[in-house]
């Protein structure tokens, strides 16, 4: 009987050992510098917010949190680096919707799986898209634009910040939901697309509220609507596309924090709790709001569900629109 009892105790200890080790690992974490990889060049919204969060993490945990920009190949270079990194919580990925929800459908082959190769931590931010037009356009609402475009098929052009970008996909989603015919005029970045929209070369543009918002406020562009499902505080008087005649329309871009697959759950949860706390702090919340962005929140499970939904949503838009990467 005693031997049998000892065997049960020994077996239980063996089973509990990994869980205990993970808990102890998370309790001590971090014991050395953390690297946060941003798969874009410096200076963009994701990069700025990542550096802000990294500073707060470093202050809280008394360990350096370093941001490394690994841009290129539509975000795939930096993403692949993290996918192949050690799953110990010391290499993280701060990425966006392109590398993590769009590229898998846009490119014939990518060297990572956005679901299988990563542990989700949390959404960092959501950036609404504004539907903007030239200030002298003969329409000021979504419905007025739809009516004008149907009567002027040969003149209805839409700018985007590049093929396969959130700007492009949002316009294609709009086309599919309204049956409006528009010609795509791709640009290399937000700046050139905004310039051509201000000039009237394009009649409409879906663009980040961070980049186009300043031109709306200065009077150089006219905002027809905001593309998120609900109104946002920083643009509370601006109606949504959905409530302006295209029910169910919802388009935005976002940023998220992830770790390599296999990172201990206890470490993932510790990161989630601390980053969500930082995003809710007045300094970070007010900065994001001033930029027209929405602070992220939620659990790792929420991000996992959201990622799968986003992949499916944009896969259909890419397929239906026969969209190809440049």
pLDDT band at 131 (very low <50, low <70, confident <90, very high): very high
Asked whether residue 210 carries a pLDDT value surpassing 90, the answer given is no
Quote the mean pLDDT of the chain. Answer: 91
Half-sphere exposure (CA, 13 Å, Cβ side) for 272?
Answer: 22
Interval 4-23 mean pLDDT: 55
Specify the pLDDT at position 44: 81
Going by the DSSP 8-state scheme, the letter that residue 98 receives in this structure is I
Name the segment(s) of the chain with CATH classification 3.40.190.10: 128-244
pLDDT tens per residue across span 222-238:
999 999 999 998 898 99
DSSP class per residue in 74-96: GGHHHHHHHHTS-SSSSEEEEEE
pLDDT digits (tens, 9 = 90+) for 20-50: 555 556 789 999 999 999 999 888 888 889 9
pLDDT for the residue numbered 25: 61
pTM over 0.95, yes/no? no
pLDDT for the residue numbered 82: 98
- Spatial separation of the C-alpha atoms in residues 211 and 253, rounded to whole Å: 12
Within 13 A of 103's CA, how many CA atoms are on the CB side?
22
Contact 39, 68 (CB under 8 A): no
Q: What pLDDT, on the 0 to 100 scale, is given for residue 159?
A: 95
Mean pLDDT score, 121-125: 96
Give the residue, 4 or 130, on which the prediction is more confident.
130
Backbone angles phi, psi at 155, to 5 degrees: -110, -10
Does residue 4 have a pLDDT over 70? no
pLDDT digits (tens, 9 = 90+) for 217-226: 999 999 999 9
The CA-based angle 79-300-276, given to 5 degrees, is 95
- Is the pLDDT at 110 greater than 90? The verdict is yes
Q: Using the predicted structure, report yes or no on whether residue 161 has a pLDDT greater than 60.
A: yes
pLDDT band for position 291 (cuts 50, 70, 90): confident
Is the pLDDT at 12 greater than 90, yes or no? Answer: no
Please determine, for residue 9, whether its predicted confidence score (pLDDT) is greater than 90.
no
Half-sphere exposure of 274 (CA within 13 A, CB side): 19
Average pLDDT, integer, range 55-75: 95
> What is 128-244's CATH superfamily?
Periplasmic binding protein-like II (3.40.190.10)
**At residue 311, does pLDDT exceed 70?**
yes
- 137-150 average pLDDT score: 97
Distance CA 61, CA 92 (A): 16
| Structure confidence at residue 189 as a pLDDT band (50, 70, 90) | confident
The fold adopted by the segment(s) 31-126+252-320 is D-Maltodextrin-Binding Protein; domain 2 (3.40.190)
Report the distance separating Cα 22 and Cα 28, nearest Å.
10
Q: 147-155 — which CB contacts under 8 Å span 24+ positions? A: 148/203, 149/180, 149/181, 149/182, 149/203, 150/180, 150/181, 153/181, 155/203
Q: What pLDDT score does 175 carry?
A: 95
Task: Give ranges for CATH 3.40.190.150 in the chain.
Answer: 31-126+252-320
Tokens coding 242: 């959905």
CA–CA separation, 199 vs 187, rounded Å? 14
Task: Give the pLDDT mean for 143-160.
Answer: 94
């Amino acid at each position: 009987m005693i031997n049998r009892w000892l065997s049960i105790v020994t077996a239980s200890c063996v089973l509990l050992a990994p869980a205990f080790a993970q808990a102890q690992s998370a309790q001590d974490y971090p014991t050395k510098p953390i690297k946060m990889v941003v798969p874009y060049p410096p200076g963009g919204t994701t990069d700025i917010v990542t550096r802000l969060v990294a500073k707060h993490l470093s202050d809280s945990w008394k360990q350096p949190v370093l941001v490394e920009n690994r841009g290129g190949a539509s975000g795939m270079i930096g993403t692949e680096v993290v996918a192949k990194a050690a799953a110990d919580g010391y290499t993280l990925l701060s990425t966006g919707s392109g590398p993590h929800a769009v590229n898998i459908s846009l490119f014939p082959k990518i060297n990572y799986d956005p679901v299988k190769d990563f542990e989700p931590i949390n959404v960092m931010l959501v950036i609404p898209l504004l539907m903007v037009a030239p200030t002298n356009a003969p329409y000021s609402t979504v419905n007025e634009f739809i009516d004008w475009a149907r009567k002027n098929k040969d003149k209805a052009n839409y700018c985007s910040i590049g093929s396969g970008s959130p700007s492009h996909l949002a316009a294609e989603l709009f086309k599919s939901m309204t049956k409006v015919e528009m010609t795509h005029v791709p640009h290399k970045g937000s700046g050139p697309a905004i310039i051509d929209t201000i000039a009237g070369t394009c009649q409409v543009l879906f663009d980040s509220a961070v980049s186009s918002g300043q031109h709306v406020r200065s009077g150089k562009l006219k905002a027809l609507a905001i593309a998120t499902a609900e109104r946002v505080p920083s643009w509370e008087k601006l109606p949504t596309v959905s409530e302006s005649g295209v029910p169910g329309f919802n388009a935005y871009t976002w940023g998220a924090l992830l770790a390599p697959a296999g990172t201990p759950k206890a470490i993932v949860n510790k990161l989630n709790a601390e980053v969500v706390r930082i995003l809710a702090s007045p300094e970070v919340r007010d900065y994001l709001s001033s930029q027209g962005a929405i602070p992220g929140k939620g659990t790792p499970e929420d991000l996992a569900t959201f990622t799968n939904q986003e992949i499916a949503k944009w896969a259909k838009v890419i397929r239906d629109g026969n969209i190809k990467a440049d």
